[in-house]
Amino acid sequence: MKELMESAGRLDAFLRRIRREIHSNPELSGEEKETAALIVRELEACGGFKIRRNVAGYGVIAELEGGKPGAVIALRADTDALPVAEETGLEFSSRNPGKMHACGHDLHTAMLLGAAKLLVERRPELKGTVRFLFQPAEEDPALGGSKAMIEAGALDGVSAIFGMHVWPEFPSGVFAIRPGEMMAAADHFAVVIKGKSAHGAQPHLGNDALLAGCQFVQAVQTVVSRNVDPFDAAVITVGEFSSGTTYNVLAEECRMEGTVRTYSPEVRDLVHERMKEVLAGICLALGCTGELINISSHPAVINDKTLTEHCLHAAEGIFGKENVLVPDRPTSISEDFSWYGRKVPSVFGFIGASKQGQPAWPLHSCHLSPDEDVMVKGAAMYAAFALGI
C-alpha cells in the first residue's frame, strides 16, 4: 500500500491538470463529447488499454488485462455536468455559460484516469481484467447513463463494481462507506386526475378534479405516517400542482408531480402500491378518474457486505484508520450507480471533500469547490480496489 500511495502522490499535478481541464469545459448529460475525447486521449497516452468509444452516447469503456488470471472488476466514474451557472470565482471556472461541474464529476473522471495510470504500471502483478467505465448522463434520469451502459454490455462478465462520489458533508481526508443501504431510491412521479367541468355555482353537475387533487396531496402523507413502519424511512413530496382555469368553473383536470425517496425495496413497493390505492379511493369518492405515472426512478444504492469490508480495509491503508467512517444512516440523495448494483455485487463510497476553514457548499451548488487534494487518495482507492489490496 505504501508503494501505491507513493506512486499516487506523484500524480498530484496530473490529477489537478486533468480535473481543471474538465472543469473549465463542462458538458451536460448526453453532450459529453469533448470530455470523452479527453478521456480517450489520456488513456491512449498511457497505452495498454482496449478502448470502446461512444458507448451509450459519449461513454468510454477501457479494459486493462492484467498479467495474472482473475476476474473482471469494474471501476466507474461519471462524466457529465449540470445546468448551473458557476459562481466559484476559480481561475479555471466554466467557460460554458450556464453549465458547471457542480457535482464533482470532474474530480471523479480525473481520479479514474489517475487509477488507470497506477494500474498500467502494475500490470504484471494485476490479477484478471480491470474495466474502466467512464459513464455519461448520470444527472439525467431520462437518458439514464448507467442503464444505457449496462445495455451496451458494460457489466458483461464483471464480478464486482466500485464507484465513489466526492462528498462535501465530510471533511477532506475522510472516506465514508457503510454496508447495505448507502443512498436512497428516487422516484419521480406524476398524477393526472380527470373530473368533469361545470359552473362553479352548480358543483352538483360536475366532478371537481381540483378538490380530488387537494385531498390526494393530504391523504398521500398518511402512507408515510400510517403504512410505513416507523423504523423505516420514506419521503413523499408533491412539489408541483396545477389545476383549474378560472375562479368560477369546476376544474376538469388536476396535474401534480413529486418525488418519493425510500431505501428498502419492500418499503418502495409498499409506498407505490398505497399511493395508487389512495388515489383510486379519492377518485372513486369524488367521481373522478386518476392515474399515477412513474416518470423515472433509481433504485437505492445497496452496498455488498463483503465488498464493503474490502473497501474499509483498503481505505484504512490509504486514508488512515481514524479517517474512515461508517455512517450510521444512508443519505436521501440518489445515484444512478444503483443500477449496476442490481446486476452485479457493487459498492459505493464517499470521499470527504470540504477543505478546512472553507464553507462546505453542497453538491449541485453554484459555489461547489471540492478540495483537489483528495484526488490522490481517490485514485489510489480505485487502484487498490482493482488490485485487491
- Known catalytic residues are 80, 138
Minimum CB separation of residue 91 from Ni ion in Å reads 23
Nearest-CB residue to Ni ion? 103
Minimum CB separation of residue 333 from Ni ion in Å reads 8
- Which CB sits closer to Ni ion, 290 or 370? 370
Minimum CB separation of residue 108 from Ni ion in Å reads 8
Q: Is 381 in the site for Ni ion (CB under 5 A)?
A: no
Q: Per CB under 5 A, which region of 100-108, 149-157, 238-246, 339-347 contacts Ni ion?
A: 100-108
| Degrees to nearest 5, angle at CA 181 with 176 and 187 | 115
Task: List the one residue out of 188, 161, 181 whose CA is nearest residue 337.
Answer: 161
The residue within the footprint of Ni ion, chosen from 103, 148, 158, 375 (CB under 5 A), is 103
- Which CB sits closer to Ni ion, 160 or 301? 301
C-alpha of 243 from chain center: 33
**Which uninterrupted H or E stretch holds 23?**
helix 12-24
* E strand map for the chain: 50-55, 59-65, 68-78, 127-135, 158-171, 175-176, 180-183, 185-194, 234-243, 253-262, 289-298, 301-303, 324-325, 346-354
Cα–Cα distance for residue pair 317/325, rounded to 1 Å:
13
Amino acid residing at 266? E
- Which CB sits closer to Ni ion, 103 or 368? 103
Q: Per CB under 5 A, which region of 102-110, 147-155, 179-187, 308-316 contacts Ni ion?
A: 102-110
Q: Per CB under 5 A, which region of 98-106, 117-125, 187-195, 211-219 contacts Ni ion?
A: 98-106
Neighbours of 161 (CB within 10 A): 26
Minimum CB separation of residue 279 from Ni ion in Å reads 32
- Which CB sits closer to Ni ion, 103 or 154? 103
Q: Where are the alpha helices (DSSP H) in 225-304?
A: 265-286
- Which CB sits closer to Ni ion, 103 or 113? 103
> Which triple of cell numbers denotes residue 182?
448507502
Minimum CB separation of residue 165 from Ni ion in Å reads 6
Which stretches of the chain bind Ni ion, using CB under 5 A? 103
